[in-house]
Amino acid sequence: MAQRLHISIVQQRLSFYDANKLIFTCVVSTAEKGVGELNGSGCTPRGMHVIRAKIGAEHAINSVFVGRRPTGEIYNEELKHNFPDRDWILTRILWLSGCELGKNRLGNVDTMRRYIYIHGCPDTVAMGEPGSHGCIRMRNDDIITLFTLVKAGTKVTISEVD
């Protein structure tokens, strides 16, 4: 059996299964604006996805990424103070691609073109409640654990129904 991820919007929880066995689960934070697939909505897209790319394997915890590229910075309070409006993407990135034509793939609903990720964030960011700009935020230790477990191509379901 294959690997799969389930992200529950209601529970704000990510669960990783391998061969239908629950291997890892953690609390996450999805979009503050709720669910939706439209480009520019700031919402978390629902439905079936795959992990298209894994980014950041060789970088330190709290490494800062902009445009999926490491900036060379390590997140700290000074950076937070100097860039208060930055949407911090830290440590690791799992870039999602939609699988459902017209729902979350292609046109103005394309998850990959919307740059929707599962990624690390500052440890001071609240988990267990919506707060992101569309991505699925995780604690840095949790994204490192998940990153080591999953393979590119792993199926991801994002659902409002548990």
Backbone angles phi, psi at 94, to 5 degrees: -115, 110
Judge contact between 53 and 152, C-beta under 8 A. Answer: yes
Number of domains in the chain: 1
Judge contact between 44 and 135, C-beta under 8 A. Answer: yes
**For 61-82, how does the pLDDT look when each residue is reduced to its tens digit (9 = 90+)?**
999 999 999 999 999 999 999 9
E runs forming strands in 109-151? 117-120, 136-138
Instruction: Report which of 45, 35, 36, 92 is spatially closest to residue 64, judged by C-alpha positions.
Output: 92
Q: Quick one: tokens of 81?
A: 């103070």
> pTM of the full predicted structure?
0.96
The domain that holds 137 is classified in CATH as 2.40.440.10
Amino acid identity, position 142: D
Burial environment of residue 127 by CB neighbours within 10 A (0 to 12, 13 to 18, 19 or more): middle
**For 2-48, how does the pLDDT look when each residue is reduced to its tens digit (9 = 90+)?**
999 999 999 999 999 999 999 999 999 999 999 999 999 999 999 99
Which residue range(s) make up the domain with 102? 3-159
How do beta strands 136-138 and 117-120 pair?
parallel
